A and B are shown apart, each in its own frame.
Chain A
Amino acid sequence: MAQLTMLKEVVKSLFSKPSTEPLAEVEKGVFSPYSRGYPVLIPEKCTGCSLCAMNCPSNAITMKIVGEKNVGGRTLPVRRPEFNYFKCIYCGLCAQVCQFNAIEMRRELVILRPGSKC
């Protein structure tokens, strides 16, 4: 009788789904619905004022020079914030201090695979 029960278990586990799921299948719904998400720049709205970088509590934002623009005959550098997601504490302060709503707190999960870029 005991062997029969054991056999039943074996057959069941052979044909049932594994209790762990591959990472690709849990892409949605991993973030807590209340979390603030992670900051993402909307480059079209950004003016390069660097208010976010000045107020970031963990100094995770650096202003990078990405190009040049002509203002009244002078060439000025164009600056855009760059986020270091390893330093970031995901507090959302940068999005809140931005006057132009150029930083969005996004919730969709990005899955990093070997070789993929941030």
Chain B
Amino acid sequence: MGRSRIEDKAYTEPHSIVEVASKTLSSYPHLISVTAVHDEKEKSIELIYTFSDFRGALKNISTRIPEDKKTLPSIASVAPAASIYEQEVSELFGVTFDGNPFTGKRVLLPDCFPNNAHPLLRNVKQEDLEKVVAGCMLGEPQIYVTGSSRYSAESVILLPFGPYHPALKEPERFILVLEGETIVDVIPKIGHVHRGIEKIAEGRTFLQDLFLVERICGICSFIHSWIFTLAVEELLNVKPSKKAEYLRTVIAELERIHSHVLWIGLLGYWTGFESMFMWIWRLREKIMSLLDLLTGNRVHKSFIAFGGVRKDVSDEKLNTVAKTIAEFEKDYKKLIDEIMSYEPLVERIKGIGMYNAEHAIRLGAVGPIIRATGVPYDMRKVEPYGVYDEIDFNVVTGKGGDVFNVTMVRIKEVLESINIIRQCIEKMPRNENPVPKTLVSGVVKEGEVVARTEAPRGELFYYVKAANSRNPHRVKIRTPTLANILLAADILKGYTLSDVPVIITSIDPCFSCMDRVLVVDKNRNNVFFVDFNKLRKESRRAR
């Protein structure tokens, strides 16, 4: 569970995709992703639209377009969430979607990137891309205001928010259109931290990719390697032992606690309540040391393997986890009681960034954002993976979308995670070896797999295609932030400038997770990256 082979794809002609999509949306209202796969032998690009209902059923609609005529109608008119996914495909594969609201703008790739270079096509080599990027960076710095030309009237002010802004922990740009102090429109420009992970993944073995995908995110790193393992295990027909499944679940839940607690701390930081930030982060350190204890690493755990985990965990360590988690729960409850009874904080976050369930579904939101409106969409319940089907837990939902409800959902989810970990440690089979005999996967047989898990930020989606080789043919990653970013930009409208940091960050954005595409090689282009000695010399000369 958590993953499934794609066996029944509904093929359609490119020109009738809008009709088919609108029909599908009536029974499968949630568009998960638009995946493009380039087939260099057949000289065509396959587009797979993955839809889901909120109860675990998936529907894959596939269409093929020839390499030399890459045009098809956009489904953004019936499914607004598609606009950002289509734009991603359009920039990376050069496919034109007629009617997409982002057409003609750059959302993902840098503005200086040439129009005819499409990085994810199979016949584009990594070395060529490196040249393109180097040439791009050597040019004069250019300042663009993407897509804001329609606001040239004198009554509005265009305010660039980011890429570097004290409120954002990662570089991302939002162009705010202001009327007085009220926001009328928001134009997101993502992609400042593209690293080319999808492209690099195609050139490495499955085992090496396991460590690569772990590095997509520095907070929810384990869930990325777990979902990739789920997909590859399905392709290899391997089943992990029960203890391995329990251990994976414990680590994933510890990671969820650490991620949520980190965010709650940052909420204090964004609202100007910095003591809260310090208290909460001090508590989080307990969880980090537990992760260190269990896996050997605090951040990138390198713990999972195809068919199990990479090392056994002793009973003694598990008892320490149970003890520390109990301590953490006590401290956490006390601290949250104190924080949430502090009225200035509650007043600050109540009633800002309001949205309803229908709005969130239409824009494809996932995770705590959609659960705050009362939709119990949690992959752990909807499509149980690991040992979630053997464990008794509740899906936390809120009473209507705003920053306060999102916060409450995350606060309660931490308690739910503690509950899951406690049950896991009780039920874990003690005398079993979770380490598989061989770690190396070798050649993987042909097949396509989609996998879905519940990352701390929401539903995470992977598409992995193998073609009888050591390397994957295509790895598509759709992170929860990309699904939530449209809603975050949309709910800003009507609020004031001072609310922007709190609302944008309420989706717990992980911008680096959704930017994965560009390749920068600092070894070969030492023009752009100056080494320390040269920098020192230059600075002396300047003085």
A contacts, CB < 8 Å to B: 32, 34-36, 51, 54-58, 89, 91-93, 96-97
Among residues of B, the one whose C-beta sits closest to the C-beta of A37 is B296
- Can you name the residue of chain B whose Cβ is closest to the Cβ of A36? B296
Contacts of A57 in B (CB 8 A): 207-208, 210-212
Interface residues of B (CB under 8 A from A): 205, 207-208, 210-212, 292-293, 295-297, 300, 302, 310, 439-440
In the complex, A34 Cα to B302 Cα: how many Å?
13
A59 — nearest CB in chain B belongs to which residue? B208
- Given A93-B302, A97-B440: A55 touches B297 (CB 8 Å cut-off): no
List chain A residues, Cβ under 8 A from B310.
92, 96
Chain B residue with minimal CB distance to A55?
Answer: B207
Contact residue among A35, A36, A96 (Cβ-Cβ distance under 8 Å from B439): A96
Q: Which residues of A contact B293 (CB under 8 A)?
A: 34
Partner of A32, one of B210, B212, B292, B440: B292
| Contact yes or no, B302 A89, CB < 8 A | yes
Given A55-B205, A89-B302, CB of A35 within 8 Å of CB of B211:
no
CB of B440 within 8 A of CB of A58, answer no
> Smallest CB–CB gap between A97 and chain B, Å?
6
Q: CA of A38 to CA of B293 in the docked complex: distance in angstroms?
A: 17
Contacts of A91 in B (CB 8 A): 211, 302
Q: Which of B207, B208, B302 contacts A92 (CB 8 A)?
A: B302
**Knowing that A35-B297, A55-B439, A89-B302 are A-B contacts, what are 4 other residue pairs whose CB atoms are under 8 Å apart, sorted by A's residue number?**
A36-B296, A54-B205, A58-B211, A89-B300
Contact of B208 among A32, A34, A36, A55 (CB under 8 A): A55
Chain A nearest CB, measured from B209 CB (Å): 8
Min distance, Cβ A56 to any Cβ of chain B, angstroms: 8
* A-B pairs with lowest CB-CB distance, top 3: A57-B211, A91-B302, A57-B208
Q: How far is the CA of A91 from the CA of B293 in the complex (A)?
A: 15
Shortest distance from the beta carbon of B10 to any chain A beta carbon, whole Å: 37
- Bound CA–CA A54/B207 (angstroms): 10
Chain B residues closer than 8 Å to A54, beta-carbon distance: 205
11 contacts between A and B (CB under 8 A): A32-B292, A32-B296, A34-B293, A34-B295, A36-B296, A54-B205, A55-B208, A89-B211, A89-B302, A91-B302, A93-B302
Could you say which residues of chain B place their CB within 8 Å of the CB of A36?
296-297, 302
A58 surroundings in chain B (CB, below 8 A): 211
Q: Which residues of B contact A92 (CB under 8 A)?
A: 296, 302, 310
Cα separation A91 to B440 with both chains bound (whole Å): 15
Min CB distance A48 to B, Å, is 18
